[in-house]
Amino acid sequence: MSTTPASPFDLGGKVALVTGGSRGLGREMALAFARAGADVVIASRKRENCDATAREIEALGRRALAHPCHVGDWNALGELAERAWSHFGRVDVLVNNAGMSPLYPSLAEVGEALWDKVLAVNLKGPFRLSALLGARMAATGGGSIINISSVASIRPTPMETPYAAAKAGLNALTVAFAHAYGPAVRVNCIMAGPFLTDISNAWDPAMRQHFERMAALGRAGEPSEIVGAALYFASAASSFTTGAVLRVDGGQV
């Protein structure tokens, strides 16, 4: 009697925690992990959004935990890590997806509060959560950490400089944590390009045309197009990949 080998992308029996998991790319990844067999912790600022995505995951037959959290809050991340671990008894996949890039009139008008907020959400939070959960993963059999960076980290513009600086730091954290918690824990990064999430509704036509013109594929990405890379890094399919930064940007130049 023959048996069908398990897919290398199978996440059955795993637990994934996704920050910024209630909308946009985070929601797409959370739902994809659930379809692949994982139970999922949804962390985002608004309780109602976390609950809505958790219900979607439960409708797929998986367990879900909704936990409202501001990832720029150092102490709140300790509470998130502890609650996720105590609720499920493990965390196998961490996705540091939450991010923000507020607009500002000019670089000279970037205030300290804006700078600190952007660095806190995009860099400080991923550092703290990766340290907390990465250490536990390494001590209990391993896991996978996935950072969601941006092509702005290597092609910064004056309109997103604090964000670009934070994401460049996240690229560096990816390599550092891969060495800190390897070989048990793999740490990789998706360097995302422009995607048509709800945030893109604020783009003016000129900005969208710019993204399309600069992309080899001639368009921005659909949110579902992040899923393949996320499943690859989350699963055994990437068992010999760590410290990698993968561009998923439509070929931006």
Does 199 have pLDDT greater than 90?
Answer: no
Q: What is the pLDDT of residue 112?
A: 98
Structure tokens at 16: 């994934």
What band does 5 get if pLDDT is binned at 50, 70 and 90? low
- Kindly write down the DSSP assignment for every residue of 145-160, as one continuous string: EEEEEEGGGTS--TTS
Structure tokens at 189: 């990064």
Does 3 have pLDDT greater than 70?
Answer: no
Q: What is the pLDDT of residue 15?
A: 98
- Kindly write down the DSSP assignment for every residue of 64-85, as one continuous string: EEEEE--TT-HHHHHHHHHHHH
Q: Determine which helix (DSSP H) or strand (DSSP E) holds 195, and give its type and residue range.
A: none
What band does 209 get if pLDDT is binned at 50, 70 and 90? confident
Which residue type sits at 12? G
- Kindly write down the DSSP assignment for every residue of 85-102, as one continuous string: HHHHS---EEEE------
Q: Does 163 qualify as catalytic in the annotation?
A: yes
pLDDT digit string (tens) for 24-79?
Answer: 999 999 999 999 999 999 999 999 999 999 999 999 999 999 999 999 999 999 99
| Given 104, 163, 181, 232, the catalytic residue | 163
CB 156 within 8 A of CB 138: no
Domains of the chain in sequence order: 15-248 (3.40.50.720)
Q: How far apart are CA 46 and CA 213, in angstroms?
A: 35
Q: Is 41 helix (H, G, I), strand (E, B) or coil?
A: strand
